Structure 1
Amino acid sequence: MNRPEQAKPKIHLRSSLFILMISVIIVLLTDSVFYYYTKRMLTAELQTKLELIADNVAISIKHSKLGEKYVENLIGQNLRTAALAAQYRLDPDIEKVTNEELISISKELMIDHMTLLKRSGDDIIGYKSTEPKEINMSTKTWSRDWFKAFNQLLDTTETNVSSGQALPHYWSGPINTSMSDPQYVDKWGYYYDGRTNYILDPYVHDTFIQNYQRETGVNAVINEMINGYTNHGTAEIAVFNPPIFLKQQEQFKKEGYTWFSDREILFGTYTMKDSRDLEMVQEVIRSKKTQQLITTIQGKTLLKMFIPLQLDMPVVIGLTADYEQVQQSIGKQQLRLLLLIGTTGLIAFFLVIVSIRFMNRRRELAAEHVQEVYVDHIDSLFRSMKEQRHDFNNHVATIQSLVHLKEYAELNRYTAEITEETTALNDIIQINVPALSAIVQSKVIQAVERRITFEHEVANLKQIHLGAVKATDLVRILSNLIDNAFDAVAPQKYVERKVRLVGFVKGNSLIFQVYNNGERIPYERLESIFEPGFSTKDEGTQHAGLGLSIIKNLVHQYGGKIHVHSSMNETCFTISIPL
């Protein structure tokens, strides 16, 4: 019989493009998620790094402030000693002291300058001095605690002001810009014990303090963090003086010089400026929480963080870091990810195409196999019909002879047997799977040939739809079960040999049961009958030891179950396969 050629399934271009489009969308989504997650992670890492640097700066400021205060107090004590030494050398009457004497004593005591202050009406002025600008200089307008401290000294009361260093008959003002010569930042000492009619004021420039700060102070630590051997990732560090920076307090300026205590930046430098810095510092002071912004300055992308710190007063540490390193790192990782995803996507796309071709080929082979099974069993059915037709003439001749001989009893028995065989062969099973119909009909013919009564009962199987692969495997399962049943009843000689097939759909499962009245399977062998090679039949038998093992593997492959029950009257194999 000629078999029609099967049209090979094709992979449609539209389906492939759809898969490719979905893959591209997944890649883009993955890349976007990775970008934002990585950016957030690296930014958080940089923020943590800057916070650690801020902590180091804060610790350095506190330690340096303590050190600077200690050094400043030592200078104040030395100035008091210098004032006492000068008092013993000078006349107690200020009118009898000359400026030249003050210059000579200052050199001997190794101080930069000395001024003598006295009351003049409601003011206190510089009356004699080594610095001409100090002569006749009023102190009444000096800011903060200075003028108050001078009056307390001249009144010989205990000096009690919020700033500076107070000792017996002595007060030393904090380091600040010189009122008479603003180009200098000086340290002053003021001594008065009532034995003179003037306050002795020896003072030195801040050179020593500046050297100390440059070598071990806060600016030294900041410079090391920015320019040292270890790259801390910071481009600039500034410690803001909030009242001045926020314009909440007016700076004191003279001759173009800003007072040392009124400088906007207490430590570090502030060259990388952004218009939002003022807002950030203000928010830090208000909320006492860290603020940050990303900005572009001179073509560079920078991350700026503003962190609160409490010293003698609240201050804000501003740290500026190069954010381009983060972006470059993100770019490199994103490129690697795109290459990885792209390569993986291409491999996956290739595997999908190969898998589709493989599945198409498998379906094609399964369809061909089902067709072969169907055609083979139809051929067997036609061959049987031809044999019946061939035998028909012999049957007619025999019937004619029996009629002629008037052997009506024998004629009745003979025709009944012929009718029984014909009915069995004409009982066509109605199943919506041609291969199953063919295999059942084939087994009907085999049963007739082997003198076995084969019954089949099927219900609600017309509407089932099985794939080609599943139908092929189901044919193998039923063929092996029925063959196994035929072999089980074959040894019986004096009892009618019966095999019965029952098929039906229950719930979402397709169920088949094969009964036979062969010899009972011993209970201890029920667990072993599905093992490969196990058989109760003679070796060399066509199905010895393999049929039940094949059935079990196929049933489990589809998530089904197989069960066997054997008694003295019959043995039943039940299989259940999900649809």
Structure 2
Amino acid sequence: MNKLHKPKPKIHLRSSIFILMISLIIVLLTDSVYYYYTKRMLTSELETKLQLIADNVAISIKHSKTGEKYVENLIGQNLRTASLAAQYRLDPDIEKVKNEELTVLSKELLIDHITLMKRSGDDIIGYKSSEPKEINMSTKTWSRDWFQAFNQLLDTKETSVESGQSLPHYWSGPMNTSMSNPQFVDKWGYYYDGRTNYILDPYVHDTFFRDYQRETGVDAVINEMIHGYTNHDAKEIAVFNTPIFLKQQEQYKKEGYTWFTDREILFGSYTMKDARDQEMVQAVMHSKQTKQLITTINGETYLKMFFPLQLDSPVVIGLTADYETVQQSIQQQQVNLLILIGSTALIAFILVILSIRFINRNREATAESIQEVYVDHIGSLFRSMKEQRHDFNNHVATIHSLVHLKEYTELDRYTTEIIGETTALNDIIQINVPALCAIVQSKVIQAVERKITFSHEVSDLNQINLGAVKATDLVRIISNLIDNAFDAVTVSKKAEDKEVRLIGVLEGNVLTFKVINNGDPIPSDRLKRLFEPGFSTKQESGFHAGLGLSIVKKLVDKYDGTVHVSSSEAETSFTISIVV
């Protein structure tokens, strides 16, 4: 018989493309989710860092303000001491004091300048001074508490204004830009106890105070956070003077100099600007909540955050951080993720292709195995039919001869024997598994040929669907067990009829087959070795490889089934059970 051509395994391209498309969609979704999650996580981490920086700046500002207030008051006390020393040296009549004398005295007292002030109508003016610009300078238009404090001193009253430093017969104004020389920020002291006809006004420039701020104050802390050894991720820190920054209060300027108390930025620097900064500061002042924005400055991306802070008056801390590091980190992680996903997808696609090829090959091999089973048994049936046709012609010739010779007794005996064989051969097996039906039918014919009485009791198997692979394996199991039984009764030394029975029953989802023969019993010492490859109870014949029962055991184990054998003088039975 010619062997059928084995087709090449087919790879289902559409299925592969579909799987690939689904995989790509999953990859894109995963990548998008990972991108936004990572971006949010890294941004949140940066925001937390900036929050910590803002908290540190706020604490530093409060502590430094206390220290600065102490230093400023200390300067004020020193100026009062200088006033007492100057009063001791100067004539109590302002007309008798010379400007040159004030210049010498300033140097001796280690102060920058001394001005003597007196009333002039409804004004109080600088009348004598070591600084020429202070002479005839009016104070009536000075803002805030200054002019009021001067009048209280000249009236020999204790100063009661809100700002500055009040001591007996003395008031020191807060540090501010000099009216006479706006290039300087000065600290003034004003003393009057009634023993002179003028207010003593010694003052110093802010050199010492600014040095203190740079070394230990808020600006020092900000500078350390931006330029220090530890990277805090902040590129710029600014403490906004909100009334001035929001244009709610007009700056006081003179000779191109902005008043120190009217500066937009109280501490830090403000060079990295965005058009939305005022809007953010206004929102923070209104809500008392932190605000933020992403901006691009000079082609670089930054995160700006604004925090509310309460000092003597409400202010806002603005922090600017480099957002490029976050984006670069996200991009790097994206690249790593895409490489990982791409490699995984490629490997998965290759595995899918290989799996499809493997499955197709297994299907083809299974189909070929099933086909071989069917072809072998159908071929066996055809051979038996040809033999029966030949025997039929011989039987017809013999019957014709017996009739012609009128040997009716012999004719009766002969036809009775033929009828028995014919009944056995015409017993069509009614089993719902075609492969099993064919193998049983072929074994019936073999049994007749080998003079073996073979009976079968297989329940209707309409309720199960074994599938081609399991049905083929079941045929191999039953075929090996029946062949083993046929061999057992053939070599048996018993004189009675040689009998083999096949019983099949379905109970629930468990299919059980039992093959029984009345051959010689199997010795107990051999029962345990029956399913070992190469072991046979019929080794003396030299024609058995001892593989049949080992194949049965392997196939039963494949379906997590059980196989049991029992043997006695009366019969030997093999029982297999598998879940269907």
> Which bracket does the TM-score occupy, shorter chain normalised?
0.7 to 0.9
- Residue 135, structure 1, aligned to residue 135, structure 2: yes
CA distance, structure 2, for counterparts of residue 528 and residue 130 of structure 1 = 126
Q: Which residue of 1 aligns with 2:278?
A: 278
Structure 1 residues 357 and 110: alpha-carbon distance in aligned structure 2, compared to 1, 3 A threshold:
same
Matched position secondary structure for 1:357: helix
Q: Which residue of 2 aligns with 1:550?
A: 554
CA deviations 1:267-294 (Å, max 9, x no partner) are: 1111111111111112222333222111
CA distance, structure 2, for counterparts of residue 297 and residue 530 of structure 1 = 87
The answer on whether the counterparts of 1:477 and 1:554 sit within 8 Å (CA) in structure 2 is no
Residues 306-317 of structure 1 aligned to structure 2 (within 5 Å) = 306-317=306-317
Structure 1 residues 419 and 241: alpha-carbon distance in aligned structure 2, compared to 1, 3 A threshold:
farther
Q: Which residue of 2 aligns with 1:117?
A: 117
Higher mean Cα deviation, 396-405 or 315-324? 396-405
CA distance, structure 1, for counterparts of residue 224 and residue 132 of structure 2 = 41
Structure 1 residues 130 and 458: alpha-carbon distance in aligned structure 2, compared to 1, 3 A threshold:
same
- Which amino acid in the other structure matches residue 466 of structure 1? G
Higher mean Cα deviation, 98-107 or 219-228? 219-228
The answer on whether the counterparts of 2:480 and 2:549 sit within 8 Å (CA) in structure 1 is no
Residues 403-482 of structure 1 aligned to structure 2 (within 5 Å) = 404=405, 406=407, 408=409, 412=412, 414-429=414-429, 434-448=434-448, 449=450, 451-459=452-460, 461=462, 464=465, 466-467=467-468, 469-480=469-480, 482=482
Q: CA deviation at 1:90?
A: 1.8
Structure 1 residues 66 and 571: alpha-carbon distance in aligned structure 2, compared to 1, 3 A threshold:
farther
Q: Which residue of 1 aligns with 2:70?
A: 70
Structure 1 residues 187 and 487: alpha-carbon distance in aligned structure 2, compared to 1, 3 A threshold:
farther
- Residue 212, structure 1, aligned to residue 209, structure 2: no
CA distance, structure 1, for counterparts of residue 457 and residue 6 of structure 2 = 32
Q: CA deviation at 1:203?
A: 0.6
Structure 1 residues 268 and 531: alpha-carbon distance in aligned structure 2, compared to 1, 3 A threshold:
farther
Q: CA deviation at 1:233?
A: 2.7
Q: Which residue of 2 aligns with 1:103?
A: 103
Q: Which residue of 2 aligns with 1:85?
A: 85
CA distance, structure 2, for counterparts of residue 420 and residue 168 of structure 1 = 146
Residues 243-282 of structure 1 aligned to structure 2 (within 5 Å) = 243-282=243-282
Q: CA deviation at 1:497?
A: 3.8
Identity across matched positions, percent: 69
Higher mean Cα deviation, 532-541 or 307-316? 532-541
Count how many residue pairs are aligned between Structure 1 and Structure 2: 568
Matched position secondary structure for 2:294: strand
Structure 1 residues 481 and 315: alpha-carbon distance in aligned structure 2, compared to 1, 3 A threshold:
farther
Structure 1 residues 493 and 529: alpha-carbon distance in aligned structure 2, compared to 1, 3 A threshold:
farther
TM-score, normalised to structure 1, is 0.85
CA distance, structure 2, for counterparts of residue 548 and residue 9 of structure 1 = 29
Residues 26-41 of structure 1 aligned to structure 2 (within 5 Å) = 26-41=26-41
Q: Which residue of 1 aligns with 2:354?
A: 354
CA distance, structure 2, for counterparts of residue 104 and residue 111 of structure 1 = 10
Matched position secondary structure for 2:238: strand
Q: Which residue of 2 aligns with 1:194?
A: 194
Residues 488-499 of structure 1 aligned to structure 2 (within 5 Å) = 497=499, 499=501
Gaps of 5+ in 1: none
Residue of structure 1 aligned with 2:577, choices 572, 575, 578:
575
TM-score, normalised to structure 2, is 0.85
Higher mean Cα deviation, 43-52 or 197-206? 43-52
The answer on whether the counterparts of 1:452 and 1:497 sit within 8 Å (CA) in structure 2 is yes
- Which amino acid in the other structure matches residue 551 of structure 1? L
Q: CA deviation at 1:480?
A: 4.3
Higher mean Cα deviation, 182-191 or 433-442? 433-442
Q: Which residue of 1 aligns with 2:224?
A: 224
The answer on whether the counterparts of 2:12 and 2:356 sit within 8 Å (CA) in structure 1 is no
The answer on whether the counterparts of 2:484 and 2:548 sit within 8 Å (CA) in structure 1 is no
The answer on whether the counterparts of 1:284 and 1:308 sit within 8 Å (CA) in structure 2 is yes
CA distance, structure 2, for counterparts of residue 442 and residue 52 of structure 1 = 89
The answer on whether the counterparts of 1:534 and 1:545 sit within 8 Å (CA) in structure 2 is no
- Which amino acid in the other structure matches residue 454 of structure 1? S
Q: Which residue of 2 aligns with 1:502?
A: 504
Matched position secondary structure for 2:467: coil
The answer on whether the counterparts of 1:460 and 1:505 sit within 8 Å (CA) in structure 2 is no
The answer on whether the counterparts of 1:92 and 1:197 sit within 8 Å (CA) in structure 2 is yes
- Which amino acid in the other structure matches residue 500 of structure 1? L
Q: CA deviation at 1:146?
A: 2.3
Higher mean Cα deviation, 83-92 or 26-35? 26-35
Q: Which residue of 2 aligns with 1:371?
A: 371
Q: Which residue of 1 aligns with 2:42?
A: 42
The answer on whether the counterparts of 2:504 and 2:514 sit within 8 Å (CA) in structure 1 is yes
CA distance, structure 1, for counterparts of residue 259 and residue 240 of structure 2 = 15
Q: CA RMSD in A?
A: 3.7
CA deviations 1:94-118 (Å, max 9, x no partner) are: 3333333322211210111112233
CA distance, structure 1, for counterparts of residue 489 and residue 291 of structure 2 = 91
- Which amino acid in the other structure matches residue 34 of structure 2? F
- Which amino acid in the other structure matches residue 550 of structure 2? L
CA distance, structure 2, for counterparts of residue 26 and residue 443 of structure 1 = 56
CA deviations 1:341-395 (Å, max 9, x no partner) are: 2233222222222221221111111111111111111222223333434444554
